[in-house]
Amino acid sequence: MVRFKRIASAVGVCAIFLGGLTTATVASADDKSDLQAQQQQQEEELESLQSSLEGVDTDLQEIYIQLEETKTQIPIAESELKIAQSELAEAERDQQSVAAQLDAAQAELADISDAIAQGQEELETTRNNLGEIARSHYRGESVPSTVDILMGSDSTDDFLNYYAASEALTRSQSATLTEVEQASAQNLTRQARQKDVESQISDLLDQAKELVSEKADKESAAEQKASDLVALKESYESQSQTLASKKSDFQTSISGLEDSLDETEAAIAQIDKENAAAAAAAAANSSNNSNGSSGSNSSGSWIIPVVPAPLYVTSSFGMRDYPFGGYWMHNGVDLRSTCGEAQVAPANGTIAKVIPAAGNSTHGNQIYINLGVVNGSSWVAVTNHLSAFNVSVGQKVKQGDVIGWTGQTGQVTGCHVHMEVWKNGSVIDPMSLPGFTRRN
């Protein structure tokens, strides 16, 4: 079996700062959907990280996970700050636009008021002229008729001169009336426009007031985001220093992990030995299976997961890099499972071991299920971290029987399933078996 390998140089501060999650690049400051996708991705990465730290002292796990959570929050906080700054800039542009519209409307209103005043003055002058004409008529000083001009003329020239003067006076009176009508109409139009502009100014003032409040909120939000970012960076530095001081604790934890792996391998070897002896005895009695389990497909198609498929893998089978430095063999597969979810027997078999969490290192509450000898191979399934047991040692189980419930016992920081499948004393990847279909 591949063992944990120490890489002393990798346990330094450099590994602590460079290890862990890959932070996603922020697509754009004002794209909130991208930010949500980034947050979702980082939540999944943190879940995977929690599984990858299985076996490390839980205090160290907590410190490192806090560090990584802070690390992932920094780019998110930077994105949120950019969004807040962008929204503030937009609010400022809106405020400037409304202010410009308000200035233009107020200038137009002033021009209209001046035009109305001037038009009113001209209208009064014209009305005075009409009043004077009216008074002239009243005093008998109105324009004489054509007969009067004819009778009063001494000669043809006199008649033409009087007549021309009379026509000019008539045209002047008509023009004055027209001017009054036009001036009155213009002022009515200006007054209507004045009301429209005054209404527009009122709306713009209300809008400007709302924008002032909105801008203040945006400024406050941007300042808070900037403050949050500074605090996150300071927290990251502090947590990094704390983690760097725990290197010796990590080495101690790894020693315990290696011991627990040895214990598991020894337990499997003992079960295989018992299976071999039982198979030999059964062969002497012309029996094909030592404990009643049967199967004809040594590829494992008769084995199902302890939780329903399709499965969401949070940490795969195989070599696992530690963020603290070094690597080790992850003998099982970690599957997403909520606390309290029922776990079932993967096949017919016998409960070989039921080990409580106390003193069981990383594994927590652990069950070994002897699946017997199938086509000449000894098969054993192991599940760790259960919250409680539903079986006891020596109990016969059938595939699908509830054996316990998902938990987070042992050196783990979150509820999940750790399942191992052993064939002839060697671990195989459960996800390579036909019944272990995955969701991700």
**233 in the same domain as 115:** yes
Q: What is the mean pLDDT of residues 313-328?
A: 77
112, 197 in Cβ contact below 8 A? yes
Q: Is the pLDDT of residue 397 over 50?
A: yes
- Is 426 a domain residue? yes
Q: Is the pLDDT of residue 288 over 60?
A: no
Q: What is the mean pLDDT of residues 420-430?
A: 95
Q: According to the model, what pLDDT value does residue 42 have?
A: 59
β-strands 396-397, 349-355 pairing: antiparallel
Give pLDDT tens digits for 184-235: 777 678 777 778 877 888 888 888 888 888 888 888 888 888 888 888 888 8
Domain that holds residue 208: 10-245
- Among 221, 245, 269, give the residue marking a domain's end: 245
H or E element at residue 320: strand 318-321
Q: 58-138 and 247-284 helices cross at what angle (nearest 10)?
A: 120
- Among 199, 218, 245, give the residue marking a domain's end: 245
Q: According to the model, what pLDDT value does residue 25 have?
A: 35
286 or 333, which is more confident:
333
**272 in the same domain as 215:** no
Q: Is the pLDDT of residue 169 over 50?
A: yes
> Structural domain tally of the chain?
2
**372 in the same domain as 337:** yes
**Could you tell me the two tokens for 288?**
């094909």
- Binned at pLDDT 50, 70 and 90, residue 297 comes out as very low
Q: What is the mean pLDDT of residues 252-260?
A: 65
- Is 375 a domain residue? yes
Dist. CA 48–CA 58, nearest whole Å = 16
- Among 219, 245, 271, give the residue marking a domain's end: 245
Taking only Cα atoms into account, the Rg of the chain, rounded to an integer number of angstroms, comes to 47
H or E element at residue 336: strand 333-336
57 or 25, which is more confident:
57
134, 143 in Cβ contact below 8 A? no
Q: What is the mean pLDDT of residues 83-101?
A: 86
With a CB cutoff of 8 Å and minimum separation 6, the contacts of 290 are 275, 278, 279, 281, 282, 372, 373
Average pLDDT, rounded, for the chain:
76
Dist. CA 409–CA 411, nearest whole Å = 7
- Is 4 a domain residue? no
